Amino acid sequence: MANLLQYKNWKGDLNVAALYGVNPKKPIRRQPMVIAWQRPRTGYLKLNIDGAFKSNKRGLGGILRNAAGDMEVILGFFASAAPASPLETEILAMNNGVPYVRS
């Protein structure tokens, strides 16, 4: 039944849908974005972190690179952790990486 309420099934008949109290939302089409690593300025380090979250599992990791970037990895780390929200997982990855930057 839920599939019948999708916008694609009512396209062209939105007035009829409204008569039945159905207001299917038009899907938002997003343009793909290219995201690429950018080097830090010479003499600086850059910490890239990521947290992955799926139902009852999460993992986190990071990599610390200098301006040479793709040629020299200063440090990499990873860990698994107890389940939490995706935002908490990203924050935990950052908290794990910052001490390496400070040392």
Q: For residue 30, how many other CB atoms are within 10 A of its CB? A: 6
Parent domain of 86: 36-102
Contacts of 44 (CB under 8 A, 6+ apart): 66, 67
What pLDDT does 68 receive? Answer: 81
Do 19 and 49 belong together in one domain?
Answer: no
Per-position pLDDT tens, the chain of length 103: 556 566 566 566 666 667 667 676 666 788 888 888 888 888 888 888 888 877 777 888 888 888 887 656 777 777 887 767 778 888 888 888 888 777 6
- On whether both 63 and 45 belong to a single domain, the answer is yes
Structure tokens at 55: 């139902």
pLDDT computed for residue 81 by the predictor: 75
94 & 75 share domain: yes
Q: Where are the beta strands (DSSP E) in 66-98?
A: 73-81
DSSP annotation of 89: H
Residues 15 and 44 in one domain: no
